Structure 1
Amino acid sequence: MTTRFPTLSPIAAAAWLLATHALAQTAPDSAQLQPVTVTGRATPPASVSGWGEIPLAKTPVQASVFDAAQLKDSGVQRLSDLTAADPAVSDAYNAEGYWDFLTVRGYVIDNRFNFRRDGLPINAETSIPLDNKARVEILKGTSGMQAGTSAPGGLVNYVVKRPLDTPLSSIGLEWRQPGTVTAAFDLSRRFGVDNAFGVRLNAAAAHLDPMVRDSEGRRHLFALAADWRVSPDTLLEAEIETSHRSQPSQPGFSMLGDTVPPPGDPRLSLNNQPWSLPVVMNATTASLRWQQRLSTDWRFVAHAATQQLRTDDRLAFPFGCFDPNPAPDGTYYADRYCPNGTYDLYDFRSENERRRTDALDLSLQGKLQTGAIAHTLTAGVLQSRVRNRFQQQAYNYVGTGNVEGTLFTSADPSLTDENTNRDERSTELYLRDAVALTDAATAWLGVRHSRIERESVRTDGSRPTDYAQSFTTPSIALSYAFARDQLVYASWGQGVESNVVTNRPRYSNAGEVFTTKSRQAEIGLKGASDAFDWNLAAFDIRRPRIQDFGSCDADGTCTTRLDGTAHHRGIEASAGWRRGAWALRGGAQWLRAKVEGSADPTIDGQQPTNVPQRTLKLQAAYDVAALPGLNLQGGLVHESARMVLPENSASIPGWTRVDAALRYETQVAGVRTTWRAGVDNLFDKRAWRESPYQFSHAYLYPLAPRTFRLSMQVDL
């Protein structure tokens, strides 16, 4: 049975929330508790950094940590919403109703290899709900120390909510314009002798009705986490999460011939054919972790997880201007739409996609002393297995569409195209050592040795490939605490990507394996005082490029080979300040990203597509003294121009967006209630938000229109 939530208007939702609040205020004044404000500066660890429980402020890496409260205050619903908070993070083909892509330091991170869940590898080619996540961590930089194979730029780690020491009962309801309604609850309890057992239950359900038309859907989540404190030295943790999301996806707009058009209607979806079907994403993930303290300084951790995904990927897919008639001037456009606003439309369906990832990590962590030098060590082995199974897919030309969304065609779901099944097994041995050379100086040493075995074959048994290889990725950093809570560091590290040329007749070197190593050097400063904290880093990342050469239109006419380097150099700065009622935080990134050494003169020396050279993210908050518990918030996001085409012959201009929000906390009869209201894109700015060059095609996505949101959270 399907549960549907009512669609509320802004006035109805506001009236409902205010009426509920008015009823709460009728409680006797004697029940009103005075709010208590606690201020302080926390430096939590970020497990994505690879240095365990060492606080992020004391490690030689740049990372951002967003806890659950921050996500709620900012109205974050999905990973891509975090692009408003971190200057190093930007959009990369983020469409309504699809999974999230991120660009970090100018590189699109790989959804297959650059994502972690409680430190273990997962596949992010799915919708990952945030309702049961305690925090989201984003590492910025090369990831060779934490991952066997991965794209440079960074890693994303989701940290699951676990049972708390104190009881928690939290209920939330949110409305978002025009009619998305989400209900959720979070329950945590401990029981048994000495509260040895703990459980935490998270559940959420939503009717999805976003600003993009023809995109209604639904989602739900159920997650259960439990632990058993067997003894003061032994902890067992288990959790399982299952989620479902069904929602039509949103194709991108594009160039019209040689012209970048003005920003289109951000509410228009080109996936509005009568036969359009939703993208359906189902996911089940479970893990088991055993932590055993061996002595005061040493502990052993065994952590296993499995993730199983099932996806129906379906879209009325606009692509190019080929068939059956040329553009008005006789020119075909392979990577954009026709000058008159029409495009070729395809019925794409890849149903019953199944992806499975299993991982087991065994590690030993502790401290030891060698003479006057102290070591903080982690040694371990990570084994993972990936098994992806697909069926034949449909990718059929069905006619012509247009950017007004007024042309309609007939469906053609015929399964005419083969898909590719993939298997991978990997074993990674890793060693990390934080060597305290003096009270102020630390050497951070890491090495990871990986062996991978990969196989692929088309669903009809053709084009098989298989190969095995081993490689080692080292990293090193030196840090010096020149004053209390002031750190300067320099680091260097490597990352690896492995690719094989497809066994297609058109390739002259089919089956050749390319193992490319990216390298990053970084210097940085970190500092903090009671009211102020800051980070400054300069980085230099080089990533080898792999490209096809030749006509690639007949057998043996295409050759894949190395072709220069994607060279990204930049400066990233962030700071936070809090004094009295005011709290300010902001960050900026200046990025010089270029293609160097390419044999293609139209590409060599050019800026990569969809990468802004300058970003600025600012947030401000103010506690209103006249009404204790009321906090006013504002945000500003600025991103500079982005290139649309690889040869840099077209670009989209930069844009600036302003957001506003408030949070009001009150306590009635011992029940804490939190009200949140916000408006994203306050001035309804119209702009092209991003310009991903995806699937050898230029796409454009508009900035979302002004959007209101309201929510209530009750903590019993």
Structure 2
Amino acid sequence: MRTSYLIGAAALAALSAPAAAQDTTLEDAQDTSTPSASTPQPRDEGAIIVTGRAQKLYRADEVSVGKLDAPPLESSLVITTITEQLIEDQGARDAQDLYRNISGVSFFSYAGVTARGFRQEEIFYDGLRGDPYAGFSVPQLFNVQRVEFLKGPSGMLYGPGAPGGLFNYVTKKADPSELSGELTVVAGTEDRWGGSAEVNVPLGSAFGARGGVFYEDRGTFRNNAASRTLIADGGVSFDPGPVRVDLQATRYDQELDANRLRGVPVDDNGQFLTSRRWNHNEPSDFLNLESDVVQLRLEAEPLSGLTFDATARYNNATEVQNYHEPRGLFDSDGDGTIDATIREFRDQMRTQETWSFGANAVWDTDISATIGNRVLFGLDHFTSDQFFQGRSLRGATVDTPGLPNPLSLFDPQYGLSDPTTYDQGPFTITETDTEQTGFYLLNELTIGRLILTGGIRRDKAEADGVSESETTYRAGLVYRITDDVSAFGQYATSFEPQSAGSQNPLAGGPFAPTTGDIFEGGVKTALMNGRVQSSLSAYQIRRTNILQADPRGDVGGDGVDDLVSLGEITSKGIEFDIAADVTPNWVVTVAYGYNDTKITEDNGGGGFSNAVGDRFANAPEHQLGFWTRYQFPELGLAAALGGDYVSERVSISGQPVNAYMVFDASLIYDFGPFRALLRVDNLFDKTYAASGFIDRTGHFPGAPRSAFVELGYRF
């Protein structure tokens, strides 16, 4: 019997996943003011010991991405929240370190993910558009308090976007109430070193200031590649009571050597043709980002029951790249084995200047003793001026003066190809101006245990003179079966304007937006006084009106091949999340996602890389993440084990992307003001592809085993 228990416990730990980050708490179930006699109490608030690990470590007390704040058991939205504590425990540095913590989400490329079967790249900061990481840079986490992922179409809440979901990064802000600070240093494999410093200072009874700086220098496992990241972040807050004002400014400076990084070529079985460390870039190649952000936020409660917030965000970013792009694999010596690639040199610069504004007013009133109502009226406005300057020069299969040299897959010789000797042509310049405005109304009616939500939004989006308008909707229902169990359902829609470059009238444009909708239902629980939290949901998402090449070619005989706004991709899935305090010292979290995303309609002549009935590219059928942590109170230590399983997929080119399972581990010392973290990623050094792209650039390789130590002091 004991053996069976241990095996079951070990299996549960091996399956545990980031549902700890799943926001599935109950407002009444959080009250631990009357603990049972069998529940040990914390001996020191600053120590590693706390009661209710799942609740206090990895649960967010508030979530802003849903517009109307509500306990999860009272919301029809499905939101996963990754807390600051989980980010710390996992030693996460950038967004790619977090994807395994969200059921139904897996890596696609750079900052993009596959979410519920669809490629998703929408990133918001504090509820607003204005991602400071232009182009191909990945968001860093130093100045981020928590990360929220809203699943499914969110057009009614946020306007244009893909139907899989969106990320909202909530930034750190000054606290006028306390003096605090933190110093950290880090060192690890691949020549990794760096550190950070943060301080928060109260300035009188209502003012506070916060400042922080982060710097990290690290190599990567790919040949020639390395990064240097500097983030300087500061802000002031004024919080006298019914009004709060936050002003923030952030500087991002990132230098990436031998980037932009593509994948490693694979064979028809999905196996890498060469080492996962292979890099198509020269040592002189680079990707450099400079980005400045200023943000002002106002929160107020002018009347009892009436709250108001308004946020304005400005971002100015420049990303410069020089890199060698793989352009075609070939057999260089005629022995029948693919062993080299043609390369194309690209010299590019992207700039973006964005302004974003959003405001919300919420009126909360009780109609009677059993009926309550909340109504939200909001608007947002976003403008973006983007500039692109680029030129490219393709090489040949043999060394040719003035052209990029080909590169061997098995014996790459770097430094023989010098971009300063290339016979490059003039730059191509593209400027794109976009503007988007949305107005929305959302109402929530509570009748006893029944909660009904309905919303409507009207958007107008304009890009380079092409204007589109769209209306999106949301309806939700929650029934509180008991205080610990809720059933929920929702219907929501989304839209994505077609790109300005594809609206050419000669090609048949302008075209209606791509649209999406979702039907979803499930059950949320917070059992045993919130110590066992879970969410089970089933959904169907359709994405329609997808722009494709017309199989008839140039229909009008005007010299331009036509496009057609046809096609449908359908995603069906089930997601299950659970976070549990197995014992007062052991928390186990599990998040599992099943997804079936297939092409259900095309243009009659193909249109997609795959055919009707095929699984959509990079959409795994099964995804499982886990995180489990056990603490040793007497020692001030905690040991954690986590990991990620992603089932087989296909790349955009139809090549298989094989299933993988990787494990990570952390050892944490946290007592009083001191904290130490030993982190090991890819514990068993598995070779795997994190995702697939196209055949000439290959699959993105997962990183081999790495480790680092982080030491910190807090006051």
TM-score (norm: length of structure 2): 0.84
Q: 1:679, 1:81 → 2: CA distance?
A: 13
Give runs of aligned pairs for residues 357-396 of structure 1, distance below 5 A: 357-370=354-367, 373-396=371-394
Q: Which residue of 2 aligns with 1:238?
A: 247
Q: Structure 1 residue 447: deviation in Å?
A: 1.3
- Residue identity in the other structure for 2:147: V
1:75 maps onto 2:91 in alignment: yes
Match of 1:44 in 2: 60
Counterpart Cα distance in 2 of 1:33 and 1:509: 65
The one of 619, 634, 639 equivalent to 2:646 is 639
Q: What's the CA shift string for 1:135-187, capped at 9, x where partnerless?
A: 11111111112222111111111111112332211001112312111210111
1:63-212 to structure 2, matched below 5 A, reads: 63-94=79-110, 100-110=111-121, 114-123=122-131, 124-125=133-134, 126-164=137-175, 165-192=177-204, 195-212=205-222
Q: Is the CA contact 2:143–2:172 (under 8 Å) kept in the aligned structure 1?
A: yes
In 2 relative to 1, CA 409–328 (structure 1 residues): closer, same or farther, beyond 3 Å?
A: same
Task: Find the counterpart in structure 1 of residue 348 from structure 2.
Answer: 350
Counterpart of 1:705? 704
Q: Is the 8 A contact 1:691 1:698 kept in 2?
A: no
Deviation at 1:417, TM superposition (A): 5.0
Could you tell me which residue of structure 1 aligns to residue 689 of structure 2? 688
Match of 2:525 in 1: 527
- SS of the residue 2:86 aligns to: helix
Amino acid at match of 2:701: P
- Paired residue for 1:313, among 297, 318, 321? 321
Q: Deviations over 1:498-542 (max 9, x none)?
A: 11463799x951542231210111112111123211111111111
Indicate how the Cα distance of structure 1 residues 57 and 394 shifts in structure 2: closer, same or farther if over 3 A, else same.
farther
Q: Distance in 2 between matches of 1:562 and 1:537?
A: 31
SS in 2 for 1:120: coil
| Residues in 2 aligned to 1:656 and 1:556: alpha-carbon distance in whole angstroms | 50
- Does the CA-based 8 Å contact 1:502-1:511 persist in structure 2? no
Alignment partners' CA distance in 1, 2:550 and 2:322 = 31
- Give the deviation of 1:260 after TM superposition: 3.7
Closer, same or farther in 2 for the Cα pair 1:405/1:511, shift >3 Å?
A: farther
**Paired residues of 1:49 and 1:61 also in contact (CA < 8 A):** no
Residue type at the aligned position of 2:543: R
Task: Render the CA deviation track for 1:45-65: whole Å, top value 9, x for unaligned.
Answer: 554542333233431111211
Q: Give the letter for the 1:85 counterpart.
A: N
| Corresponding residue to 1:440 among 445, 449, 460 | 449
Which residue of 2 is the match for residue 291 of structure 1? 299
Checking the alignment, whether the CA contact within 8 Å between 1:361 and 1:383 is kept in structure 2 is yes
Question: What displacement does 1:489 show?
Answer: 0.5
Question: CA separation in 2, counterparts of 1:350 and 1:404?
Answer: 28
* Conserved? CA contact 2:146–2:170, under 8 Å: yes
Which structure has more relative contact order (CA 8 Å, sep 6+)? It is 2
> How far has the Cα of 1:581 moved from its partner?
1.6
Q: Do structure 1's residue 678 and structure 2's residue 686 form an aligned pair? A: no
Q: Does structure 2 conserve the Cα–Cα contact (< 8 Å) formed by 1:46 and 1:56?
A: no
Q: Which moved more, 1:311-320 or 1:399-408?
A: 399-408
3-state SS in 1 of match to 2:99: helix
Which among 646, 659, 663 is matched to residue 658 of structure 1? 663
Supply the distance in 1 between the matched residues of 2:560 and 2:712 (Cα, whole angstroms): 62
- The 2-side partners of 1:688 and 1:320 are apart by 20
Instruction: Write the deviation string for residues 270-322 of structure 1: whole angstroms up to 9, x where unpaired.
Output: 21x25x32100111111111222111210222211111111102211112248
Deviation at 1:247, TM superposition (A): 0.8
Q: Report Cα offsets for 1:393-443 as digits up to 9, x if no partner.
A: 33443232232351443423724452421111121101111111x221101
Contact 1:363 1:380 (C-alpha < 8 Å) held by counterparts: yes
Q: 2:608 aligned with 1:592, yes or no?
A: no
Would the aligned equivalents of 1:263 and 1:702 in 2 still touch at CA under 8 Å? no
- Deviation by residue 1:348-374 (Cα, 9 ceiling, x = unmatched): 1112x2101101222211213446632
Confirm whether residue 399 of structure 1 aligns to residue 405 of structure 2.
yes
CA displacement at 1:39 relative to structure 2: 1.7
Q: CA RMSD in A?
A: 2.6
Q: Tell me: CA distance 1:573–1:264, structure 2 relative to 1, closer, same or farther (3 Å).
A: farther
Among the aligned pairs, what percent are the same residue? 19
Q: Do the aligned partners of residues 228 and 533 (structure 1) sit closer, same or farther apart at CA in structure 2, a change above 3 Å counting?
A: same
Distance 1:287 1:349 in 2: 32
Q: Which residue of 1 aligns with 2:37?
A: none
* TM-score normalized with structure 1 length: 0.84
- The 1:516/1:500 distance shift into structure 2, 3 A limit, reads same
Q: Deviations over 1:589-629 (max 9, x none)?
A: 1111100122245511101122211111111111124x431
CA-CA distance at 1:636 after TM superposition: 2.4
* Displacement of 1:583: 0.7
Q: Which residue of 1 aligns with 2:497?
A: 498
**CA spacing shift, 1:528–1:256, aligned 2, 3 Å:** closer
The one-letter code matched in structure 2 to 1:161 is K
Residues 413 and 555 (structure 1 numbering): CA distance in 2 closer, same or farther, change over 3 Å? farther
Identify the match of residue 569 of structure 2 among 559, 566, 571: 566
Q: Which amino acid aligns with 1:308?
A: N
614, 622, 625: which one pairs with 1:614? Answer: 622
Task: Give the 3 Å change call, closer, same or farther, for CA 623–427 of structure 1 in structure 2.
Answer: same
Give 1:217 deviation, angstroms: 3.0
Cα distance in 1 for partners of 2:342, 2:198 equals 47
2:595 and 2:247 map into 1 onto residues whose CA distance is 42
Matched, 1:603 2:608: no
> What's the offset of the Cα at 1:662?
0.8
Contact 2:263 2:698 survives alignment (8 Å): yes
Contact persistence 1:490–1:522 (CA under 8 A): yes
1:70-118 alpha-carbon deviations (Å, 9 max, x no partner): 1121021110111222221111123xxxxx22221121113xxx21111
1:583 is matched with 587
Structure 2: stretches of 5+ with no match in the other structure:
1-43, 396-403
Find the aligned partners of 2:46 and 2:381 in 1 and give their Cα distance: 53
Q: Which 5+ residue runs of structure 1 have no aligned equivalent?
A: 1-31, 95-99, 330-337, 456-465
Counterpart mapping for 1:5-24 below 5 A: none
Aligned to 2:5: none
Residue aligned with 1:69, SS: helix
Moved over 6 A (4+): 551-555
Contact 1:177 1:210 (C-alpha < 8 Å) held by counterparts: no
Q: 2:432 aligns with which of 398, 414, 422?
A: 422
Mean Cα deviation higher: 629-638 or 406-415: 406-415
Query: Measured at CA, do residues 472 and 697 of structure 1 come closer, stay the same or move farther in structure 2, by a change above 3 Å?
Result: farther
Letter in 2 for 1:159: V
Could you tell me whether the CA contact under 8 Å between 1:184 and 1:204 is conserved in 2?
A: yes
Residues 439 and 326 (structure 1 numbering): CA distance in 2 closer, same or farther, change over 3 Å? same
How much does 1:35 deviate?
A: 4.2
Cα distance in 1 for partners of 2:423, 2:198 equals 42
